[in-house]
Structure formats: C-alpha cells, structure tokens
Amino acid sequence: MNNNPTYFEALRWASLFIDEHGGDENAPQILIMDTMEWTRTELIMHYRERLRPEQWIWFQKAINRVTKGEPVQYITNKANFFGREFYVDQRVLIPRVETEELIEEILKKNKNDGRNLRVLDIGTGSGDIAITLKLERPDWQITATDISTDALNVAKENAQRHEAVIDFKNGSLFEAVQGLKFDLIVSNPPYIAENERSEMDQSVLDFEPSIALFAQDNGLFWYKQIADQLNEYLNSTGQLFCEIGYQQGPPLGRYFKEKEYIKTVDIIKDLSQHDRILWAKMK
C-alpha cells in the first residue's frame, strides 16, 4: 500500500498476513480497539478512516509480534479482569478468566457486611486479585506479597491506577508477614508440573514468566508449603482460598484434611466442571 490504509484495509492486510505466517486471528481487531479505546461498533464506524503514519508503522510491527506468538495483552499492555483493565507486561502472568471464579467464590462466602477483614494475597503478580478484592470490599485491609520485585512494581502501578490501597511486601510465601495473622488468605501460586510443559501453549512458554507457572512435586509444592504453615498465619475462624489445577483436587484435598487445625476442606469446580478452587476453613 502506497498510502496509509484505512482501518478496514489494515485489518484485511493483517488477516492475510496472519493466515500466511500464523498467529491469533482475533489479534488485529483487539490491537486497534485497545489502542484506540474503541468498542467493536466504534471500530466499524471508523472503518473508512485512514491510519496516521505512526499508527500504521506501529500496527505492522504489532502484527509481526503476533505472528511470533506474543500474546496481544503484552503488545497492548492491557488485560481485562473482573470488568477492569490492568497493566501487564512480561514481568507478570496475564490474568485468566478462571481466576475471576476464585474472586466470585471469595465474595460469595464473605458478604459485604462491613467487616474489616485482614486479607493476605500470596504471589500477587499483577495485583489483579488483591486490587479486585479491595475494590469490591473497600473495608478489607489487604496485604499482597510476591517473591518478584518486578511483579510487585507492576502490581503497585495497577493499584495506583485503580486507587486501591494495598500493603505490598516482597518475599516468598509468608516471609514478609512474619508474626502477622489474617482472616482470609488467597493464593494463585505456580501449580503446573514440569512434565506438563509439552501440553502447554507455546506462547505461554515463550513469553510468560516461568517462575509464576511451574512448581515441584507435580505442581503441589507451594500448596503444601501453605498448608504446613497455615496455623501460624490464619486466625482461628479464618479461610483459605487457592486456585488449583484441574487434576490437583484429590491429592490436595487429602493433604489439607490431614492437618488437625483445619476443620473444613472443599474442592470447588469451575464453570467447565473442572476442579478449580480449594477452600479450607480453620476450626
């Protein structure tokens, strides 16, 4: 194209380019809608307008990144979670829709009744869980930890954008909260077993941080660490919520039930009827 294309022409070019080179066929529209902050309807309304020169250059580079497997969320630095927009880059995992079900379960079991719960989010990543809980339950006091200072920097940026007051701390598991007790602990830790690499999407392996994905002991390592120390950090009537892998319900259920200080253990299924959430309540 000699002249800068219209949005319609640019999308057609991108579609043909992706057909030839591979990549997410939905990416071209998402790239434009996210960068222009348009709805799909608004995009259609602008179909006949021409891209500015710098837009066309950026769009071609972005489509090249798409064909190399890079997730569109890392290209636009935007990911939607629980109806809100979060900043993401390769320092953190991209929030998943399955994790929204974890939020919903926490909110369902803890109504907005004005209680000032003390909450700990272990392995906060982008901060999506901690920030969402704070916005949905403003009375809660939320602490969020992560072993990665890079991830914490992203989480802090998101908290600032959403004007959510979170106490961020650097450390693995409970390292940064020694001597503190909480009413509710939530974690979406690394839970993929090393032998499951071959089953994973290549773009996840290539672009998302492995420290946030993989765990030893068939993916159970961090859950067991949490279970072993739960009595020290959870109040006597406290609750634990963890996102888990779809095959991890039975072994984790058995492990947590062995702990004499835990009264109730429940494995909750997601909308696809896969084991997705571990809920444990203290005696």
Are 268 and 151 found together in one domain? yes
pLDDT tens, residue order, the chain (283 aa): 458 999 999 999 999 999 999 999 999 999 999 999 999 999 999 999 999 999 999 999 999 999 999 999 999 999 999 999 999 999 999 999 999 999 999 999 998 777 799 999 999 999 999 999 999 999 999 999 999 999 999 999 999 999 999 999 999 999 999 999 999 999 999 988 888 888 888 888 889 888 888 888 999 999 999 999 999 999 999 999 999 999 999 999 999 999 999 999 999 999 999 999 999 999 7
The residue range of the domain holding 37 is 7-76
Q: For 136, list phi and psi in degrees, rounded to 5.
A: -80, -30
The answer to the question of whether 255 is labelled as a binding residue is no
Are 117 and 51 found together in one domain? no
Q: Is residue 54 part of a domain?
A: yes
Are 36 and 163 found together in one domain? no
Are 143 and 72 found together in one domain? no
Beta bridge partners of residue 122, listed in sequence order: 145, 187
Are 152 and 266 found together in one domain? yes
Task: Tally the C-alpha atoms within 13 A of residue 50's C-alpha that lie toward its C-beta.
Answer: 8
- What is the C-alpha radius of gyration for the chain, rounded to an integer number of angstroms? 21
Question: Structure pTM?
Answer: 0.93
Last residue of a domain, one of 76, 100, 116: 76
The answer to the question of whether 138 is labelled as a binding residue is no
Which one-letter amino acid corresponds to residue 185?
Answer: I
107: tokens are 């909110």
Cα 199–Cα 201–Cα 204 angle in degrees, nearest 5: 125
Are 244 and 107 found together in one domain? yes
Q: Is residue 194 part of a domain?
A: yes
Q: Is residue 231 part of a domain?
A: yes
The answer to the question of whether 188 is labelled as a binding residue is yes
Last residue of a domain, one of 48, 76, 104: 76
In angstroms, the CA 247 to CA 261 distance is 25
Q: Is residue 202 part of a domain?
A: yes
Are 237 and 276 found together in one domain? yes
Are 204 and 143 found together in one domain? yes
189: tokens are 């830790």
Give residue 1's pLDDT. 45
106: tokens are 């926490």
Domain containing residue 181: CATH number: 3.40.50.150
Are 28 and 136 found together in one domain? no
The answer to the question of whether 189 is labelled as a binding residue is yes
Number of domains in the chain: 2
Are 139 and 222 found together in one domain? yes
The answer to the question of whether 251 is labelled as a binding residue is no
Q: Is residue 85 part of a domain?
A: no
Give residue 275's pLDDT. 95
Q: Is residue 195 part of a domain?
A: yes
Domain containing residue 26: CATH number: 1.10.8
Q: Is residue 155 part of a domain?
A: yes
Are 65 and 115 found together in one domain? no
Q: Is residue 83 part of a domain?
A: no
The answer to the question of whether 23 is labelled as a binding residue is no
275: left (phi over 0), alpha (psi -120 to 50) or beta: beta
Are 160 and 65 found together in one domain? no
Contact 53, 71 (CB under 8 A): no
